[in-house]
């Protein structure tokens, strides 16, 4: 991909917000950023829509010994989604999957506490939940987030991302009410290729953005 599309995550969020204008000023809408990288994007979306911002946590489940390779994901509420193809191909036993899920569940709980500082999770029942990340590749983490959000009985679930492969957007469209992919670069290499600045978002930045959104 010759041209990078966004200056940084905040810039991507402003672009994405332009595609979500029909959700502006609606009292039922809540914007949920997937930490950490999805939160700066979600901050700009929530600001433009004049909607509350919160986080919805998802952790990748890495293959033991090859942690960068995802065999699934775990989301807030303990919902686990496995990539059956990867689990079968590498012959990963249920005990190994369980160990990784327990470890990542512990980290997920730590982050939840760090970001919320004792605040209760938002009530999503009968609301429109807009799930925002900084981009999608396979969509495994977002799939876990969607299944976990569904447990809270929202009226509508929307996925919104600045960049993703068209095929991933199509697959996820079967799970939710709407998918908004601001750009679908072809060929799609990595999420980072869509950004000039893809510096890792820190826990401190996530906390600052959540505080700023609450004050706003």
List of residues 6+ apart from 46 with CB closer than 8 A: 31, 52, 53, 213
Q: Strands across the sheet with 79-82, in order?
A: 58-63, 66-75, 79-82
Provide the 8-state DSSP code for 154: -
Residue 2: pLDDT band (50, 70, 90) is: very low
CATH number belonging to the domain at 9-56+124-211, selected among 3.40.50.1950, 3.30.43.10, 3.40.50.2020, 3.30.300.180: 3.40.50.2020
Domain parsing of the chain, residue ranges: 9-56+124-211, 60-115
What percent of the chain has pLDDT above 90? 74
Q: What is the pLDDT of residues 160-199, one digit of tens each?
A: 999 999 999 999 999 999 999 999 998 998 999 999 999 9
The pTM for the full model equals: 0.89
The structure tokens listed for 48 are 């433009």
Q: Is 132 exposed, middle or buried (0-12, 13-18, 19+ CB in 10 A)?
A: buried
β-bridge pairing 66-75 and 156-163: unpaired
Q: Is the pLDDT reported for residue 40 higher than 60?
A: yes
Q: Is the pLDDT reported for residue 1 higher than 50?
A: no
Q: Is the model more confident about 6 or about 140?
A: 6
Q: Is the pLDDT reported for residue 37 higher than 60?
A: yes
């Amino acid at each position: 991909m010759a041209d990078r599309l966004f200056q940084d995550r905040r810039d991507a969020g402003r672009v994405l917000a332009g595609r979500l204008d029909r959700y502006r000023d609606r009292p039922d809408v809540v914007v949920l950023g997937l930490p950490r990288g999805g939160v700066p994007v979600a901050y700009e979306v929530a600001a433009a829509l004049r909607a509350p911002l919160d986080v919805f946590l998802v952790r990748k489940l890495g293959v033991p010994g090859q942690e960068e390779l995802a065999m699934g994901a775990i989301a807030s509420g303990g919902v686990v989604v496995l990539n059956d193809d990867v689990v079968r191909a590498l012959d990963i036993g249920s005990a190994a999957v369980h160990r990784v899920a327990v470890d990542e569940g512990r980290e997920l709980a730590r982050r939840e506490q760090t970001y919320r500082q004792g605040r209760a999770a938002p009530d999503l029942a009968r609301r429109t939940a807009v799930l925002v990340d900084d981009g999608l590749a396979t969509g495994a983490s977002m799939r876990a987030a969607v299944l976990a959000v569904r447990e809270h009985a929202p009226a509508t679930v929307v996925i919104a991302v600045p960049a993703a492969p068209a095929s991933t957007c199509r697959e996820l469209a079967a799970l939710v009410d709407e998918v908004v992919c601001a750009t679908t670069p072809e060929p799609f290499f990595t999420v980072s290729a869509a950004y000039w600045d893809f510096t890792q978002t820190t826990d401190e930045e996530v906390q600052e953005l959540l505080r700023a959104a609450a004050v706003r």
